Amino acid sequence: MKRRRRNNFEIMVKILDLCKNPRNQTQVMIRGNLSTGMIHKYLLYMHSLGLLDICNSPTRYVTTQKGMDFIEQWKKLEDFLHPNSSVLNSKFGGAARI
């Protein structure tokens, strides 16, 4: 079965979710299944929006309160657009989407 490509918001939510606990760029890249170029672009963009903070020594990224709010709003939007997706995901192992 061919895997559906993630959109920008899904990638951003994944990164924010991963960074609830401080993570370095490599950890986010590997756990988020992103290329080096992609992770660099997203981390810079999300930091410029105030969704991520940078903790130095060593450099780690952590989700801000604004980032946590973004995750919540995204979940509400997904529930609104796909109200049956949670039922389908549990029934079909997470692969179903209308």
Which pair of structure tokens corresponds to residue 20? 């609830």
pTM greater than 0.85: no
User: What's the CATH number for 8-88?
Assistant: 1.10.10.10
Domain ranges of the chain: 8-88
- Return the pLDDT at 95: 47
Predicted confidence (pLDDT) per residue in 59-85, tens digit:
999 999 999 999 999 999 999 988 876
Dist. CA 58–CA 95, nearest whole Å: 37
pLDDT of residue 4: 82
Give residue-wise pLDDT tens across range 18-62: 999 999 999 999 999 999 999 999 999 999 999 999 998 789 999
Q: Quick one: pLDDT band at residue 97, thresholds 50, 70, 90?
A: very low
